[in-house]
Structure 1
Amino acid sequence: MSHTDQSRQVRLEQLGAYPFARLKTLLAGRHPNPELPHIDAGAGEPRLPLPDFVAGTLAAHLDGFSRYPATTGNDALREAIAAWLMRRYGLARIDPATQVLSANGTREALFAIAHALINPEASKKPYALMPNPMYQIYLGAAITAGAKPFFMPCTSANAFEPDLDAVPAEVWADTAIVYVCSPSNPTGWIADHAYFTRLIELADRHDFHIVSDECYSEIYWQQAPVGLLQVAESLGRTDYARCLVMNSLSKRSALPGLRSGLIAGDDSLIARFAKLRSYTGPATPLPLQHVAAAAWSDESHVEQHLMLYRQSLKAFFAAFGRGEPPFGSFFIWLPVANDEAFAVAAYEQQAITLLPGSYLAADDATDHNPGAGYVRIALVDGPDKAAELGRRLKAMSGLS
């Protein structure tokens, strides 16, 4: 086995089980309360009505299954994405040919981007910064790309904002990439204009790239979140230097099975990523690209979904009787005494599947896991089930 192969094997061995595999193990041999209908609030999988245009658009383009799709996305899809970005964020211009790519779901893109932008030979050990807790794809991407993860703590003490001040100067000096998630999975925190501005200034000073995961951008309690490209343009950076954003139709349009998202920003980074994906990236089938173009071009279904998410949040907290909705996303980040024990009890007593918060975080330098003591609850089935979730959880012990 070559040294390179051994290095890859060691990196893979550093990865723990994925959160839902851990949850499956935790609940193995246990049974939900048979007297109650099961509610799956574990996965962030929207289960809302299918938008009206999906079936007709798909039927009109079935012949596309007989052709290979381009990994970059067809012209119509990239143009629809660019048009949405300009409408949504007030951008003056974004070039669909050079500043936009299609993604086969942003999970793939968020993972692969680290392999395009991180060069483990460029320094002793380049860092990949990420929030903690986090979407675990960031951690897997950093490790397999040969970077060293550095965790920015997100706790109630700092309103769950990834703490830039917690990053030592020597880490900034050797940083290759920073992941930011706004609105946050799982905490619901939203980055403001000042946060993105500071991050861009740090990127210029220390020569790193910013990857902004904005998959929950259309799910918010009050005010629509700002985006990284929006802030970059306000600073006069119409080339979006050092900045990439990713977004998805899984959450915006409640189409997780479509496997379609976007990558946009700095054209030099887009070109690097496009080259990597021409070898490795799975391409979205052409009929599904046409559905995706229709989804990015329509806002009425997004407005309907947002109304349902807000109604679900309101219904949950009215039934639960305490707490407030998160600023963004459809997740409740609920404090509990012991997250694994609470998840087991919720399953056995109330027939609810939810995710222990420690599975969405990593131990920091002091062996503290900032997700411990929380569970993530996904409100993805509409207001009635959200209210039922609130009632059942309210009846449980073990709440913090």
Structure 2
Amino acid sequence: MQIQYAERIRTLPPYLFAAIDQMKREALSKGADVIDLSIGDPDIPTPAHIVDAMKKAVENPEHHRYPSYEGMFSYRKAVSDWYRQRFNIELDPEKEVLSLIGSKEGIGHIPLAFIDPGDIVLVPSPGYPVYPVGTKFAGGVSYFMPLREDNNFLPDLDSIPEDVAKKAKLMFINYPNNPTAATADEKFFKKVIEFAKQYNIIVCHDAAYSEIFYEEKPVSFMQIDGAKEVGVEFHSLSKTYNMTGWRIGFVVGNREVLAGLGKVKTNLDSGVFQAIQEASIVALQTDDNVLEQIRDIYRERRDMLCEGLKSAGFEVKKPMATFYLWVKVPQKISSIDFVAQLLKEVEVLCTPGVGFGEHGEGYIRFALTQSKERIKEAVERIRRLKL
């Protein structure tokens, strides 16, 4: 039997992190001691009180049946309470909060609700690869908005051609940003809202890193007047509470947009395991002192890696949020070639910027997801490179 993939699969580029995993496996198979600073998967354990809540919840037979599609009301209420406490935003847990099997799932599915073949989606470049992939699966066309250092890694909305803006149905933005670690202020979000209203575009703000910050708390897109009229905000418990493997998140905002995404989800998944939702309610009620301890760990790692890379000859700007460093390639070679060189010569793995889109070329991304001892060792190895 001859198996033939659909065109949407055949024309997909290799998923960035799957390709990196393959590079890592090949190096490990040869006995390399790889220090992996490539993927944003927290190495810090999920806080114990959340794990304890999960242990208790998983024994409840009521949770062993199908969950509700939109999420338990108690979970959605916990999300709305968290938004009120963190951002001073009022959300209707019934209509303005929707549970997700991780924010990645919701981001990948939302184009299916609003994009017809040929419709345009405004996508940041560099950016999370799921934005253009979800667009492609829905038959849409990505128009890439360059994120350049001279504009603080914010998209220049004024440079988007009017004929493109008129055809656009969705816009993805992401602050604090992956991979650049840039943050956005109220002024930028206000401009996004004005642009969205002018061209009738749904804004999808990915705020997965809002709680990984250092000197200043990031603002929420939902805090800005008019945000609920034009869009939604995606969140995940993965980074904030070190729960990447648990696969739970949520999206809040415009109730019509959430209803559209909900229609897709009811036909494609059966919701989040309720025991995980129970534990996530406890997570959302976590004292900020616990989260500050996590941020302190990343802050120490950030400072160590920034100073170490600078001393090795790299041009580095200290990030104010996320657990990423967005670093210029110090040689006149491609980001992929430089990543391969690092892995081969000093057994340190990072991520090539071009993997996040054409406008990520010239940069590499380091993740602060190893212990300070391993980061110190990585710096010592990198210093041996002849840049």
The TM-score normalised by the length of structure 2 is 0.91
Letter of the 1:43 partner, please give it: I
Count of paired positions: 374
Matched residue type, 1:292: S
- Match status 1:175 vs 2:168: yes
CA distance in structure 1 between the partners assigned to 2:309 and 2:29 by the alignment: 21
- Separation (CA, whole Å) in 1 of partners of 2:49 and 2:26: 42
Separation in structure 1 between the aligned mates of residue 56 and residue 34 of structure 2, nearest angstrom: 37
Output the CA distance in 2 between the equivalents of 1:176 and 1:135: 19
- Mapped to 1, the partners of 2:323 and 2:94 lie a distance apart of 33
Alignment deviations for residues 164-190 of structure 1 (CA, whole Å, 9 cap, x no partner): 122111111111000001011100111
Q: Which residue of 2 aligns with 1:102?
A: 99
Match 1:378 to one of 348, 351, 367: 367
Alignment of 1:153-302 (within 5 A): 153-231=146-224, 235=225, 237=226, 240-298=228-286, 299-302=288-291
**Residue 23 of structure 1 aligns with which residue?**
20
Aligned mate of 1:305, from 294, 300, 303: 294
Secondary structure of the structure 2 residue equivalent to 1:215:
coil
Paired position in structure 2 for 1:68: 66
The aligned residue for residue 357 of structure 1 is: 353
Which stretch of the first structure deviates more once superposed, 77-86 or 322-331?
322-331
In 1: Cα distance, 2:260 partner to 2:46 partner: 35
Mapped contact 1:129–1:151 kept (Cα < 8 A)? yes
Alignment CA distance shift 1:27-1:307 (3 Å): closer
CA drift of 1:30 comes to 4.4
Conserved 8 A contact 1:32-1:38: no
Give CA-to-partner distance per residue, 1:355-397, whole Å, 9 cap, x none. Answer: 1111111xxxxxxx22222211111124333333333223323
> How far 1:271 sits from its partner (Å)?
1.4
Q: Secondary structure in 2 aligned to 1:272?
A: helix
Is the 1:193–1:226 Cα contact (8 Å) retained in structure 2? yes
Q: Does 1:118 align with 2:115?
A: yes
Deviation at 1:201, TM superposition (A): 0.6
1:58 aligns with 2:54: yes
Q: Structure 1, unaligned stretches of length 5 or more?
A: 1-5, 362-368
How many angstroms apart in 1 are the aligned matches of 2:26 and 2:223? 49
Deviations 1:229-263 (A, max 9, x none): 011xxx2x48x112100011111111101101111
Question: Corresponding residue for 1:394?
Answer: 383
Amino acid at match of 1:20: F
Decide whether aligned partners of structure 1 residues 31 and 12 sit closer, same or farther in structure 2, where only a CA change above 3 A counts: closer
* Stretch deviating more after TM superposition (179-188 or 214-223): 214-223
Aligned to 1:144: 137
Deviation at 1:28, TM superposition (A): 6.9
* Residue identity opposite 1:339 in structure 2: S
Q: Distance in 2 between matches of 1:48 and 1:31?
A: 23
Q: Which amino acid aligns with 1:80?
A: A
What is the SS of the residue equivalent to 2:359?
Answer: coil
Q: Determine the structure 2 residue equivalent to 1:314.
A: 303
Tell me: CA distance 1:38–1:292, structure 2 relative to 1, closer, same or farther (3 Å): same
- Inter-partner Cα distance in structure 2 for 1:243 and 1:262: 14
Match of residue 39 from structure 2: 43
Give the conservation status (yes or no) of the 8 Å contact 2:68–2:270.
no
Q: Confirm or deny: 8 A CA contact 1:104 1:282 kept in the other structure.
A: no
Work out whether residues 346 and 393 of structure 1, in 8 Å CA contact, stay in contact via their aligned partners in 2.
Answer: yes
Where do 5+ consecutive residues of structure 2 fail to align?
none
Q: CA deviation at 1:215?
A: 0.3
Structure 2 residue aligned with 1:366: none
What CA deviation, in whole Å up to 9, does each residue of 1:343-364 have, x standing for no partner?
1222122222211111111xxx
What SS does structure 2 have at the residue aligned with 1:257?
Answer: helix
Over 3 Å counting, the alpha-carbon distance change for 1:282 and 1:395 in structure 2 is: farther
Asked whether the equivalents of residues 24 and 349 of structure 2 are also in contact (C-alpha less than 8 Å), the reply is no
TM-score by length of 1: 0.88
Amino acid at match of 2:220: G
Offset at residue 25 of structure 1 (A): 5.1
Percent of pairs with identical residues: 26
User: What are the equivalent positions in structure 2 for 1:69-88 lying under 5 Å apart?
Assistant: 69-88=67-86
Q: CA–CA distance in 1 between the matches of 2:79 and 2:326? A: 31
Distance (whole Å) between structure 2 residues aligned to residue 320 and residue 33 of structure 1: 27
Cα separation, 1, equivalents of 2:203 and 2:383: 40
User: Residue 218 of structure 1 aligns to which amino acid in structure 2?
Assistant: E
Q: How large is the RMSD of aligned CA atoms in angstroms?
A: 2.1
